[in-house]
Structure 1
Amino acid sequence: MIEMQTSNHSMNLEIPEGLGDMLRDFTVSVLRQRPSDLFDFAAEYFEKARQQRRAKSVPMYIIVDDENEAQEPDPAFFKPKSNKKGRFARRQSVSAERYDPEADEDDEKVVHPKTDEQRDRLAEAVQGILIFRSLDTEQMQDVLDAMFEKRVDSGQRVIEQGDDGDNFYVIDHGTFDVLVTNEGQERKVHEFVEKGSFGEMALLYNMPRSATVVAKTVGSLWAMDRNSFRRIVLKSTYMKRKLYEELLDSVPMLKSLTEYERMSLADALVTKSYNDGDCIIKEGDQADGMYFIEDGKVKVLVDHKGKGPEEVARQSKGKYFGEMALVEQQPRSASVYALGKVKCAFVDRDSFERLLGPCLDIMKRNIEQYQR
């Protein structure tokens, strides 16, 4: 929640969950397709994304006044400051070097040694950070390796509005104020208390800092340098999407989806890893989503009238399972176990209903074949 002060009363600014993921996915789409006109591409991208959503769109921010009435903030408050030196005006016309994940061959990992106590504190601090949500276990270990501790004093300015982005920061402990300067006035727009992260936007878009962050108390931060951030967050997200798109292209049922629909589905997938013998779904459980086999093999077991589980099928890369319970809105009709190490791309129930509507008829026909 972001607090803003006006001449009349205080207001609260709420940034919805998922905004960071949405902007990151848009950035990956830009890097992948390299549009000649970024503004036209952005307009088309978000229009298609809006059309894909069945639910009503959520505003990027809501300000609630003392009477709890929602209203739009004054756009001028967020307009970059323009002074005689043009320090902040460059945000609107900065010509940044283009980052190409495919051309980036720098896979050298940065490792900052840490004690066990430091690593435990860092692991706790990065929990729930949206920008890391799509990373797998190995990539999260890269995050822990690449971050270094930075202690700050009360009053220390950690990042300065208008400066180039150098690091991404995760708060270990302490209180930090976020300040925005506009028309010569510096205003507090947010306060981080003991947790949170900042600095990713300048690194994602290679633009100057859009705000100043000042330590209100003595504190400690975890920092990740620009190159490590790009390699782990941007490049890994780009490569994962490419892998998922290739996986989805191999599934015949999904041929009925448009290219954009497959891209949207690829963005919604999350990798889940299993060891030999692990139960991936259990017969009788409520369905939480659908699985595409990314690597490895699974076996399908059905308990026929209480006589005990019987193996009825085996599936490998490119196959999918778990859709039946979602289509029929019934509990799981079979159990699925990993044979050796298995990786699956998982799509949750909400994304399934939103993105796989065009495939439902095909799924229903396949289910009829299963039942026969």
Structure 2
Amino acid sequence: MNFEIPPGLTDLLQEFTVAVLRTRPSNLEAFAADYFNNLNEKKNGPLKLSGALRFQENDTVNIIEPSDGHGSSNEDDDDDSFVGPPSSYRDRRKSVSAERYDPEADDEGDYTKVVNPKSDEQRRRLNDAIKHILLFRSLDHEQMQEVLDAMFEKIVDPGEEIIAQGDDGDNFYLIDDGKYDIYVNIDGKRKLVGNYNNEGFFGELALMYNMPRAATIIAASRGTIWGLDRQTFRRIVLKTAFNKRKKYEKLIEGVPMLSSLDMYERMNVCDALSSQTFRDGQQIIAQGDKADCMYFVEEGNARVAMVNKADPTATVEKEISRVGPGGYFGELALVTNKPRAASVYSVGVTKLAVLDVHAFERLMGPCMDIMKRNIGHYESQLLHIFGDKANISDLR
């Protein structure tokens, strides 16, 4: 039976992990069932699992660790249940003890930063590769530099085993170049289930979930990978995700539109947000541009202005409104699938939380009716300012 690791699995599991770290449920199984059932009912209706989340008639769920979506399928029609590692792996030394990590109780006083020297070219390659990984998007510049400092280079030869199913997680790995095969133990036999080709990452789930390695990764060619040790990964990546959610929870509580979201949906929105800061007078949105995100105001104010294109004599922008802390803008073009209807500028220094279009489409469905109703409010504003010459067709 062939399968591929589906796109979006990494994001889904990362969102769930931070939810667990935030709420620290006493019954993890019940929390997970409630979390995923709730999420599925909101978006997909009856439960369906595919790809790396496999199920049998007894509803046993198996998770394959590599999760960047680049794996290719290569599995035959055997039993999908996972078993323990074969005898040749039982004597393998476990890398670290699987202690629980609590980001809220973490004291950085005894934390020693790890620095592995690198050339400017190596740092550039690492930065280009890591900046597209969701796990690292919420890191600020200083934290990202600390991650780059801590990563170490490892040259691997064909046939070299990098991680083994059943071992404790010691490092997160990022592929620089080379080909790597993914194996899992199925029905007592090692089966090839996918591969990486010159890109991807693996090893994060064992560190995030405090669980043994769920797969074995073996180099299929000579290549280069970069490792990040367990302590640095947890102290920076997991703690940053935890603190980010706490910060955005306060912001979201002050946005009336988001009150229609349940707890899990609000947590997912928190995880998807990223911060941007704009200086006084800086343009945030340009009228006529294609929409790629919406914004929530954390600090400062934003000025909304518009040139009335329905009036051929109009060349000067007129201010439509101002948006302060707790307010939002930019959702209109995402709802209508039209270009930006107005421009937006920063008034003073303005800090915004940004929700990109993909997260918007995935998370904001429950708020869509409210946003569509807001179109009538925007139309009233334009009619008040421009009168009969207002071009309200741009809003629908």
Structure 2 vs 1, CA of residues 257 and 128 (structure 1 numbering), >3 Å: closer, same or farther? closer
Q: Secondary structure at the match of 2:118?
A: coil
For residues 38 and 232 of structure 1, the distance between their equivalents in structure 2, rounded to whole angstroms, comes to 24
Cα distance change of structure 1 residues 314 and 23 upon mapping to structure 2, 3 Å threshold? same
- What residue in structure 2 maps to residue 186 of structure 1? 190
Q: Select between 276-285 and 357-366 the one with higher mean Cα deviation.
A: 357-366
Note closer, same or farther for the CA distance 1:180–1:363 as it changes in structure 2 (3 Å cut): same
1:137-164, Cα deviation, whole Å (9 max, x unpaired): 5543333232111122332221122211
Tell me which of 346, 354, 365 is aligned to 1:346: 354
Map residues 292-371 of structure 1 onto 2, 5 A cutoff: 292-304=296-308, 305=311, 306-327=314-335, 330-347=338-355, 348=357, 349-351=360-362, 353-357=364-368, 359-360=370-371, 363-364=374-375, 366-367=377-378, 370-371=381-382
Contact 2:174 2:202 in 1 (8 A): yes
After TM superposition, the structure 1 stretch with the greater mean CA deviation from structure 2, 78-87 or 229-238, is: 78-87
C-alpha deviation, 1:41, in angstroms: 0.8
2:3 partner SS:
strand
Determine the structure 1 residue equivalent to 2:18.
28
Instruction: Rate the CA distance shift 1:307–1:42 in 2: closer, same or farther, 3 A.
Output: same
Given the alignment of the two structures, is residue 79 of structure 1 paired with residue 82 of structure 2, yes or no? yes
Alpha-carbon distance between aligned partners in 1 of 2:325 and 2:104, rounded to the nearest angstrom: 25
- Note the C-alpha offset of 1:42: 0.7
Q: State whether residues 114 and 150 of structure 2, in contact with CA within 8 Å, keep that contact through their aligned partners in structure 1.
A: yes
Partner residue in 2 for 1:8: none
Is 1:143 aligned to 2:147, yes or no? yes
User: What TM-score, normalized by structure 2, do the two folds share?
Assistant: 0.77
Aligned to 2:393: none
Amino acid at match of 2:82: K
Partner of 2:124: 120
Aligned partner of 1:311: which letter?
E
Return the alpha-carbon distance in structure 2 between the equivalents of residues 52 and 141 of structure 1: 38
CA distance in 2, matches of 1:83, 1:155: 18
- Alignment correspondent of 1:226: 230
Distance of 1:179 and 1:318 partners within structure 2: 48
1:167: Cα distance to partner? Answer: 0.3
Q: Give yes or no for contact 2:126–2:148 (8 Å, CA) kept in 1.
A: yes
State the distance in 2 between where 1:143 and 1:75 align: 40
The answer for the alignment partner of 1:19 in structure 2 is 9
1:53 to 36, 40, 43: 43
Larger displacement relative to structure 2 (142-151 or 132-141): 132-141
Could you say which residue in structure 2 is the equivalent of 1:97?
99
Question: How far apart, in 2, do the equivalents of 1:62 and 1:30 lie?
Answer: 21
Q: 1:54 to 1:180 in 2, by over 3 A?
A: closer
Q: CA deviation at 1:284?
A: 2.5
Paired with 1:243 and 1:276, the residues of 2 have a C-alpha distance of 24
Question: Alignment length, in residue pairs?
Answer: 350
In structure 2, the CA distance between the partners of 1:193 and 1:338, relative to structure 1 (3 Å rule), is same
Q: Is the 8 A contact 1:168 1:226 kept in 2?
A: yes
Match in the other structure for 1:5:
none
- CA distance in 1 between counterparts of 2:219 and 2:264 reads 43
Say which SS state the counterpart of residue 147 (structure 2) adopts.
helix
- Partner-residue secondary structure (3-state), 2:149: helix
User: How far did residue 330 of structure 1 move?
Assistant: 4.5
SS of 2:236's equivalent in the other structure is helix
Compared CA separation, residues 226 and 136, structure 1 to 2 (3 A): same
Identical-residue share of aligned pairs (%): 48
| Alpha carbons of structure 1 residues 75 and 136: separation in structure 2 relative to 1, 3 Å | farther
Q: Identify the match of residue 129 of structure 1 among 133, 140, 158.
A: 133
Which runs of 5 or more residues in structure 1 are unaligned? 1-10, 64-69, 89-94
Give the drift of 1:327: 4.7
Q: 1:118 to 1:58 in 2, by over 3 A?
A: farther
Partners of 2:135 and 2:103 in 1: CA distance? 17
CA contact (8 A) 1:179 1:213 kept: yes
The question of whether the paired residues in 2 share the 8 Å contact of 1:324 and 1:367 is answered with: no
Q: Would you say the 8 A contact 1:54–1:354 is kept in 2?
A: no
Deviates more, 1:301-310 or 1:165-174: 301-310
Q: Any idea what SS the aligned residue of 2:294 has? A: strand
More strand by share: 1
Q: Given residue 121 of structure 1, which amino acid in structure 2 is its aligned partner?
A: R
Shift of 1:231: 2.2
Q: How does 1:279-290 map to 2 (within 5 A)?
A: 279-290=283-294
> Is it true that 1:197 corresponds to 2:201 in the alignment?
yes
1:61-76 counterparts in 2 under 5 A? 61=51, 76=79
- Work out the CA distance in 2 between the residues paired with 1:38 and 1:102: 18
